[in-house]
Structure 1
Amino acid sequence: MKDSLKYIILAFSSIVLFFLPFYLVTPDDSKIKNDVIKKVDVSKFNPQIGIEGGILKRALSGDPKTFNPAMAQETTSTAVIGDLFNGLTKTDIKTLLPKPDLAEKWERNKDGTVWYFYIRKNAYWFDGKPVTADDIVFTYNEIYYNPDIPTSAKDVLTVAGKPFKVEKVSEKIVKFSLPKPFAPFLQALGQPILPKHILEKYVKNKTFPSAWNINTDPKNIIGTGKYKLVEYKPGQIAIYKRNELYWEKDKKGQKLPYILKIKAQIISDPDVQLIKFLSGETDIYGVRPSDLPQLVPKAKEKDFTIYNLGATPAITFIVFNQNPNAPIPKYKLKWFQNKKFRQAISYAVDRKGIINLVYNGLAYPIYTAVTPANRRLFDENYYPKYPYNLKKAKELLISIGFKEGKDGYLYDKEGHKLEFTLITNSGNKERESIGNILKDDLKKIGIEVNFQTLDFNNLVSKLMSSHDFEAVIIGLTGILDPYFGQNVWLSSGHLHMWYPNEKKPATKWEAEIDNLFKKAAIELDPKKRDMLYKKAFKIIGEYQPMIFIAAPEELIAVRNKLKNVFPTVWGWYKDEMVYIKQ
């Protein structure tokens, strides 16, 4: 399930969020696919009453780095623990509007600065203790707003730079006071609520960031969600059982979710995931475009359906390290901090070639962090574009002082050869293919690229901890509202990848983006608010701190024994009502 409240670093896209690149679509192939692959329209879907029972078999793309939802920053972690926790609110996948979750209802004053949330009377932790206002106050005041706990949630839980004031009114009522009206407030409250009676001791002894690490017995991870994690074997499997205390029921009074158990094999190699799906060992598979020649002919025989969910909100990009505190040569830092250098690299990215070769034609070229899935903000003609042009790329590099040497490579004014190390996560064949294409194209204009692949968790450590990288191909999940990307786009953001946690904006353009995001957070007029975000993403498109490549279409294959199935790019609609036809 996608996290709609903040950007998360992607190991593998759920699209293929992320193979073999050399299959091209022909007109005949397209006709076959149109006959076999289903498009989805959530507005026409109404789930039916199902039956309890069965085991869902699925795959996870990697081991988690943590079981602690407040510390998780990558999909390998959130995919494992996502169904274990709830926020006060959640997003209705059909309307894309907030709806009740742990809070059964809410009230507010006229200007939207004071809110009261009423916690469900039948909401319980896995250990049987009731969820109370103490848990909500603890989660926000002691965890999300704790300066000693480096959680990304902090970036999206402020308005005008100030936190919400969170107070207990009674056992089941909590009060939020805001310094100003805040447009995406209800969506912000989708952050996971955590148990005070379990985690308070870790906050007090200042060990919370390491609490619920991957060595923790799954039985000690206490949430409120639809499923409980009951077993975890690194590199092998995660097993879940239905939470019998979960409050949701269907119209007949049957407990939800219908499915009683989930077995999730941990399979980092997408090729192996495909084999497991075709052999019947898993029920759901995130389809890569290159898989279609194998999957389409077998859909009837193997009894599954392929769904095309349309353009994903997720983005794939290259980011150069602009952090002055990073352990990289200062002369390279000077290159990477130059706007024209980054624009030159952007012109050297053959997006259309990558889309055809890597994504089998099923993707969209992007030049900023907005994809066709972001219907409010996507505008073909508004954002700067960098069409593939190696001549222009080289001219830009020459204009900032690089000169061609006798060996054909470019050198800066100090005689340093223009070369850098580009990394990505091993096993992700799409990114590996993109890296190899980019390496070959950049060599044509005199740039030597040392392309390497790393284990995903090692890659994340370099990005988020040691900052020991020069350039990386990586991805981010999509978001429903740009505000929840503040942990990436604000200069102070924890996921501001090119230079995270800036004490003050390092550049005028970053300061302007900060200003636009802060204005948008308190702008209640939807059209004015969207325009503020569009201006911010236009600046991002101009300065190319990330060199955006493509937004693939999302494809997923699902066994036909699963009923009430309706996947979307924002998550599965009414996933608790999916059932298995015995």
Structure 2
Amino acid sequence: MIRNFFLHAQSSIRLPTILCYWLIVSSQIVNAALPDNLEWHSNESSLEWSATEAQKGGLIRLNVSSFPPILRTVGPDSNNSFRSFLLDNQLPLVDMHPNSGEIIPILASHWAYDEDGKTVYYKIKENARWSDGKPVTADDFLFALKFNRSKHIVAPWYNKHYSEEIVDIIKYAPRTIAIVGARAKPKKDLHYYYSIQPRPEHFHHLNDQWVNSNNWEIEPNTGPYQVTNIRKGKSIEFSRKNDWWAQEDRFLRHRFNVDRVLIKVVRDPNTAFKYFER
């Protein structure tokens, strides 16, 4: 793009014009510099709470009262009861330890806090992968902000929240970002209020047809399970990934042991209870 600009530039273009263009373009291709005084955290001291002796395998059967109208997790008709099954398999950067309440690493390996009280820096784990094998990178978080602000997803709440509450996401390296919030908050609260899950940039094509074209697309995820079978109107099945990138991760291993999760539509709760008794 820079090369073409100079090839086609006319002699009448003034130096300040070229200089301004260079500054705009360079800001898009050069990573920002991290502050020198950051103190990185990784929480190596918290204890694991999963059971190492837990057996793997088997099938768990669950029921819902109605079949989901779509598999999209944002946009029209997405706020349904099934959405939580999908979102549970999109991991956050960090989470809270269920016993101690301490921040623990999930997608991120390290995090640090800025002196402004509203910015958190994250290093994404080198081995973090989408379910299609593509690496999770800083660009997926930058795209997530663009995605959530886009009119193409037809989600006014998302547009407003991610425009007003998250000021910016800054890329410092291929797997290093900062999330800048709108207001200063206590350190733990920063992770909650300014949390944003990545979106696979390589999968989505934002345009006027995005809503309709993604109704039944299975979005790549980062969690232990992925949708593997859909019987419309009847059931949806999730299967545990055999090559999940985090299966030996300290705070994720030994937790997701069931091979398959079958979610079946049972409209009558009495019928559902009879299934349970069998």
TM-score, with structure 2 as normaliser: 0.70
Specify whether residues 144 and 92 from structure 1 end up closer, same or farther in structure 2 by C-alpha distance, changes over 3 A only.
farther
Number of the residue aligned with 1:541: none
Query: How far apart in 1 are the matches of 2:197 and 2:74?
Result: 8
Q: Does 1:60 align with 2:64?
A: yes
Q: Residues 68-79 of structure 1 correspond to what in structure 2 (within 5 A)?
A: 68-71=72-75, 73-79=78-84
Q: Does 1:173 align with 2:190?
A: no
Q: Following TM superposition, by how much is the alpha carbon of 1:198 offset from its aligned partner in structure 2, in angstroms?
A: 0.4
Number of the residue aligned with 2:38: none
Query: How far apart in 2 are the matches of 1:211 and 1:84?
Result: 22
Q: Following TM superposition, by how much is the alpha carbon of 1:213 offset from its aligned partner in structure 2, in angstroms?
A: 0.8
Query: How far apart in 1 are the matches of 2:118 and 2:194?
Result: 14
Q: Following TM superposition, by how much is the alpha carbon of 1:172 offset from its aligned partner in structure 2, in angstroms?
A: 0.6
Counting aligned pairs with the same residue, the percent is 19
TM-score, with structure 1 as normaliser: 0.35
Q: Residues 126-525 of structure 1 correspond to what in structure 2 (within 5 A)?
A: 126-140=131-145, 142-151=146-155, 152-157=157-162, 161=164, 163-183=166-186, 184-199=189-204, 201=205, 203=206, 205-214=207-216, 216=217, 220-243=218-241, 244-249=243-248, 257-279=256-278
Contact 1:90–1:190, Cα closer than 8 Å, also in 2: no
Partner of 1:239, secondary structure, is strand
Deviations 1:488-534 (A, max 9, x none): xxxxxxxxxxxxxxxxxxxxxxxxxxxxxxxxxxxxxxxxxxxxxxx
Q: CA RMSD in A?
A: 2.9
Deviations 1:426-478 (A, max 9, x none): xxxxxxxxxxxxxxxxxxxxxxxxxxxxxxxxxxxxxxxxxxxxxxxxxxxxx
Deviations 1:154-201 (A, max 9, x none): 45445xx454211221111112233431453311354432100000x2
Number of the residue aligned with 1:124: 129
Q: Following TM superposition, by how much is the alpha carbon of 1:52 offset from its aligned partner in structure 2, in angstroms?
A: 1.7
Number of the residue aligned with 1:89: 94
Partner of 2:171, secondary structure, is strand
Partner of 2:81, secondary structure, is helix
Query: How far apart in 2 are the matches of 1:241 and 1:153?
Result: 29
Q: Following TM superposition, by how much is the alpha carbon of 1:98 offset from its aligned partner in structure 2, in angstroms?
A: 5.0
Q: Residues 15-30 of structure 1 correspond to what in structure 2 (within 5 A)?
A: none
Q: Which runs of 4+ in 1 moved over 4 A?
A: 95-98, 253-256
Gaps of 5+ in 2: 1-47
Instruction: For 1:137, give the aligned amino acid.
Output: L
Q: Following TM superposition, by how much is the alpha carbon of 1:91 offset from its aligned partner in structure 2, in angstroms?
A: 4.1
Query: How far apart in 1 are the matches of 2:253 and 2:101?
Result: 26
Instruction: For 2:141, give the aligned amino acid.
Output: I
Contact 2:120–2:190, Cα closer than 8 Å, also in 1: no
Specify whether residues 47 and 177 from structure 1 end up closer, same or farther in structure 2 by C-alpha distance, changes over 3 A only.
closer
Query: Which structure's CA Rg is the greater one?
Result: 1
Query: How far apart in 1 are the matches of 2:154 and 2:103?
Result: 26
Contact 2:230–2:236, Cα closer than 8 Å, also in 1: yes
Partner of 1:224, secondary structure, is coil
Gaps of 5+ in 1: 1-44, 280-582
Number of paired residues? 225
